[in-house]
Amino acid sequence: MTSILLFVILLAGITSIILYHPAFGRLPRGERLERIKRSTNYRNGKFHNIHLTPTTTMRKGTIRMFWDFFLEKHPDLKPHKYLPTVKTDLLHLDRNEDLVIWFGHSSYLIQSGGRRFLIDPVLTNKFPASLMFRPFKGTDRYKPEDIPDIDFLIITHEHWDHLDYYTVKQLRDRIGTVICGLGVGEYLEYWGFSQEHIVEMDWYDSYSIDNDCLIHCLPARHFSNRLLKNAQTLWASFMIDGKQQIYISGDGGYDTHFAEIGKRFSRIDLAIMENGQYNEDWRYIHLMPNDLPLAIKDLHPKQVLTVHHSKYALSKHPWYEPLENIHKASISKPYKLLTPMIGEKLIT
């Protein structure tokens, strides 16, 4: 009994140390929490999607779920070789060149209309995120020190594969303004960002950069739970509405918001869409292969770039499957499908 008690105490101590690591951030408080409570999307102590959205439809028991996810072998879950990448000199980019550079998974740099936007940068692999996922060989060529000065950092939501403590901490002094959903700013402020440089938005809010460019916060069908308490910060998609209209889907399943966005924005030049880390058990919170073409059709963009693949294995499909699926689905479609290597400069 003494040994068991000591083990429990030790385990509790280790858990406490992990949960108090600054990477976990902190939950919204004070005026930020009061603003959250005034949101029409926040009810009964948490944020809600437009329609009822189960986080999982899994019917398996806990032991079977653990076995399937962590112990069952899945062929081609990761590449057997280093993935080819391109190392672009980001520090000497011409900021007047309209482009996108993808860093793998959901991290990428956008230049449009002379402005630089950095989206969901995860450019380190340190504790505690390293306990949950590791990059494929060859996909981690870009580090925070490679990133140039950024005008706007856009965070779609606070999950570990989209918001990295070490990356944003290292980039803090080179970022002008942070744009995120309600509550997510608590993390950034906790990590040393000035409150005056954080713009938190509810769905359908807009932020005016100047007379030529707006950032619109739009719905997504997803969830948040970085601190083990669900739905305390808002997940979102975004539209950069300036010289170009660039839609950033963030993570989330198919729903009516795609058609609504497509009707509201009639000239989307580029849609950057989630594609990968899907699972039938998560079909409401991630875009399934059959739903991604429907979402693109609803948006009717000129070009499509898919992300959320080719760097981490967060689900159990073959690593190459998302790109194969969207390639087949895009044959003879009116949009242009962009399939760059990690780090390749795409002129938009």
- In-domain check, residue 286: yes
Q: Answer yes or no: are the C-beta atoms of 265 and 231 closer than 8 Å.
A: no
The secondary structure of residue 128, as a DSSP letter, is T
Tokens 């990761």 locate to: 78
C-alpha to C-alpha distance for 178 and 305, rounded to whole angstroms? 23
pLDDT given at position 155: 99
Beta bridge partners of 123: none
Q: Compute the 3-state secondary structure of the chain and give helix, strand, coil in percent, each to the nearest 5.
A: 25, 20, 50
In the chain, % of residues over pLDDT 70: 91
- In-domain check, residue 19: no
C-alpha to C-alpha distance for 203 and 189, rounded to whole angstroms? 21
pLDDT band at 16 (very low <50, low <70, confident <90, very high): low
pLDDT given at position 1: 57
- In-domain check, residue 13: no
Instruction: Count structural domains, the chain.
Output: 1
328: three-class secondary structure by DSSP: helix
pLDDT given at position 72: 73
Phi, psi of 222, deg, nearest 5: -150, -145
pLDDT given at position 4: 54
pLDDT band at 11 (very low <50, low <70, confident <90, very high): very low
pLDDT band at 2 (very low <50, low <70, confident <90, very high): low
Q: Is the pLDDT of residue 256 over 50?
A: yes
Averaged over 196-224, what is the pLDDT? 98
- In-domain check, residue 21: no
Averaged over 6-28, what is the pLDDT? 68
- In-domain check, residue 200: yes
Higher pLDDT, 111 or 9: 111
pLDDT given at position 154: 99
User: For the domain that residue 231 is a member of, what is the CATH number?
Assistant: 3.60.15.10
Q: What is the distance of C-alpha 319 from the center of its chain?
A: 18
Angle of helix 292-299 relative to helix 257-264, nearest 10 degrees, comes to: 20
pLDDT given at position 62: 52
Average pLDDT across the chain, whole number:
93
pLDDT band at 147 (very low <50, low <70, confident <90, very high): very high
Q: Is the pLDDT of residue 128 over 80?
A: yes
- In-domain check, residue 20: no
Q: Which structural domain, as residue segments, surrounds residue 49?
A: 30-347
Q: Which of 229, 227, 233 is nearest to 20 (CA)?
A: 227
pLDDT given at position 74: 83
What number of other Cβ atoms are within 10 A of residue 182's Cβ? Answer: 27
Q: Which of 123, 136, 192, 133 is nearest to 163 (CA)?
A: 123
User: Whole-prediction pTM value?
Assistant: 0.94
Q: What is the torsion angle, in degrees rounded to the nearest 10, for the CA atoms of residue 20, residue 24, residue 25 and residue 27?
A: -90
The token pair at 205 is 């809010």
Phi, psi of 164, deg, nearest 5: -110, 120
pLDDT given at position 12: 44
Q: Which of 189, 270, 173, 217 is nearest to 26 (CA)?
A: 189
pLDDT band at 126 (very low <50, low <70, confident <90, very high): very high
Digit-coded pLDDT (tens) for 186-205: 999 999 999 999 999 999 99
Beta bridge partners of 244: none
Digit-coded pLDDT (tens) for 66-89: 556 556 778 899 999 999 999 999
Averaged over 17-35, what is the pLDDT? 91
pLDDT given at position 20: 81
Digit-coded pLDDT (tens) for 283-301: 999 999 999 999 999 999 9
Q: Is the pLDDT of residue 227 over 90?
A: no
Averaged over 229-246, what is the pLDDT? 97
